Structure 1
């Protein structure tokens, strides 16, 4: 992973500081999207400005329709009870947060120190992360620093235009976003920024229902029914595992099966990067039926499981329950301490 130079970081901090001074979160809700189309990119970056609700101010940047799907998952997460650790562990994006010094990683504090920049107090220190599924968040690489700088340039110009005339704002409440398209020109010429409303795109279905052959289902329908209340969960542990074959530390993804009535773990598996999570969930699910019978209920909080298991549970007449499953939090904490 190639590192950015100090000069490249300096340009990024300059744009991030300029955006912070404008306080765009006083204008935009985090669900008010700005789509930034950069020259040379086939798809736009979908940007969300955080901070209006009193949470940590910042910007998240998701590339293309796959990134938009990640963003929709976050915005729709209120429908489910999935923990933040899963939602934030399963996205691809770049972020800029404005927080406190003690929230920053040492390498980012060193960059600020080497640049001679000065920040003070809460929500003043800019820091950046790159998110990718199955890996823990890391510092931006060189290409990401360059892309993030260009996006911030566009956002700065966009916010300036909106602050001068709010007529530029789309009707966010009626399903519009603000498109910002910067036509980059020859060196020395002033670039032209066009902003205009567009309808929000339809999101790509993120979670698919798993189906199996009728012959396989027929075999499992023959098993006896039990009164088991089965819990199945997927969650990221955010306990970094370094592997020399990868340029980012791995974020372990755990699939867990738990007997709610007996308060006991039935199965648990830390998935490798090659594992398909729903294949493993279904494999464990069928293994439990073979050993304990068809459960009465399936409890889950992860939308990938709640949606993915709909067909199988319907065919096997198992009730699916969307539940926060707070009992699992202590289990995960104990597992984290062993890694």
Structure 2
């Protein structure tokens, strides 16, 4: 159950954020750098990424734990993959502070700002906090998230001051990471610069365990069919009574590119798994139509779901940009959004 942060907590968060604003960290830290904090009060590290150096877009992005670092790495390397920017943006869990125009700040955030009577430098530099969780529409941070931000910002302020005062030598181009770690044995903070963690976002890989099903799939005749499979976020919020905040529907789509036919297209709920969606479609298709010749995909969930089973069934699973799927997906999402708007 979601619990809203008190005005007292919001006041403290805005005070810390304004300290960060006054320090102008984008003058000292580039978007390729990271700041990792292991605080006195929390077990898992947080990773902070700051944008604004050389650009008007300023933000402070917080990722939690090593799983959060995987989200950061996926976002930072999106240009090296075939995943769309929209998919990667919504597939991550991140707490972000934006410097925004007053007119673009959400009504919920405006209400808090008005109640606290927070003052900003000008109408174009209002501060807004956004919680982004995969499968949910971006929303106002809850109580626990606000507490996490306060704790992280208090330590971030110390890091920025150290960089500003040249107590830390940071390479702005090599993507170095500043580590600030609390040592419980000595009761002291350690701060140093080192390489970023050497890891990528992890996606599970599954195997079929039912011997009868594996044999049944292997014995199906093989056709010349070539399929495309993908996941794509809807791009609009949807209300679901099972959740206390708007969801962001994730669409699974399968297309027979040989026949130019959409075979499957539906939106998953936040509790539906990508692995199950892809694998269940594969099994149902093969049982009905036989083993396809090839599947093209760009999404890592597809490969995690199907790599082993495709090898078992001698189906070629190919990494491909599948740009031909983009127009189909956009058309389906436009129609779904129109239907949702008519139903309101």
Query: For residues 148 and 183 of structure 1, do their structure 2 counterparts lie closer, same or farther at Cα, with a shift above 3 Å needed?
Result: farther
Give the match for residue 27 of structure 2: 26
Are 2:221 and 1:220 equivalent residues in the alignment?
no
Query: For residues 154 and 313 of structure 1, do their structure 2 counterparts lie closer, same or farther at Cα, with a shift above 3 Å needed?
Result: same
CA contact under 8 A between 2:136 and 2:270: conserved in structure 1? no
SS at match of 1:258: strand
Give the match for residue 337 of structure 1: 338
Distance in 2, Cα, partners of 1:28 & 1:218: 56
Cα deviation for residue 322 of structure 1 reads 1.8
Give the match for residue 253 of structure 2: 256
CA contact under 8 A between 1:82 and 1:303: conserved in structure 2? no
Are 2:123 and 1:125 equivalent residues in the alignment?
no
Cα deviation for residue 295 of structure 1 reads 2.6
Give the match for residue 117 of structure 2: 116
CA contact under 8 A between 1:37 and 1:180: conserved in structure 2? yes
Distance in 2, Cα, partners of 1:308 & 1:74: 22
Q: What's the TM-score once normalised by structure 1's chain length?
A: 0.86
Give the match for residue 274 of structure 2: 277
Comparing 213-222 with 153-162, which one deviates more in the overlay?
213-222
Are 2:210 and 1:209 equivalent residues in the alignment?
no
CA RMSD in angstroms, aligned pairs only: 2.8
Cα deviation for residue 105 of structure 1 reads 1.0
Aligned length: 331
Query: For residues 151 and 310 of structure 1, do their structure 2 counterparts lie closer, same or farther at Cα, with a shift above 3 Å needed?
Result: same
Which runs of 5 or more structure 1 residues have no equivalent in the other structure? Answer: 185-190
SS at match of 1:42: coil
Query: For residues 29 and 330 of structure 1, do their structure 2 counterparts lie closer, same or farther at Cα, with a shift above 3 Å needed?
Result: farther
Query: For residues 21 and 285 of structure 1, do their structure 2 counterparts lie closer, same or farther at Cα, with a shift above 3 Å needed?
Result: same
Q: How does 1:1-339 map to 2 (within 5 A)?
A: 1-52=2-53, 54=55, 56-119=57-120, 120-122=122-124, 124-165=125-166, 167-169=168-170, 173=174, 176-181=176-181, 194-203=190-199, 206-213=202-209, 215-315=212-312, 316-323=314-321, 324=323, 325-327=325-327, 328-339=329-340
Comparing 296-305 with 197-206, which one deviates more in the overlay?
197-206
Distance in 2, Cα, partners of 1:56 & 1:66: 25
Q: What's the TM-score once normalised by structure 2's chain length?
A: 0.85
CA contact under 8 A between 2:162 and 2:168: conserved in structure 1? no
The superposition leaves residues 49-71 of structure 1 with CA deviations (integer Å, 9 ceiling, x where unpaired) of 12336373111111112222222
Distance in 2, Cα, partners of 1:77 & 1:182: 32
CA contact under 8 A between 1:313 and 1:320: conserved in structure 2? no
SS at match of 1:150: helix
Which runs of 5 or more structure 2 residues have no equivalent in the other structure? Answer: none
Distance in 2, Cα, partners of 1:46 & 1:135: 21
CA contact under 8 A between 1:259 and 1:266: conserved in structure 2? yes
The superposition leaves residues 82-136 of structure 1 with CA deviations (integer Å, 9 ceiling, x where unpaired) of 23333233322211111222332111122222222334344x1211111223222
Distance in 1, Cα, partners of 2:158 & 2:144: 22
CA contact under 8 A between 1:232 and 1:258: conserved in structure 2? yes
Cα deviation for residue 183 of structure 1 reads 7.9
Cα deviation for residue 182 of structure 1 reads 5.9
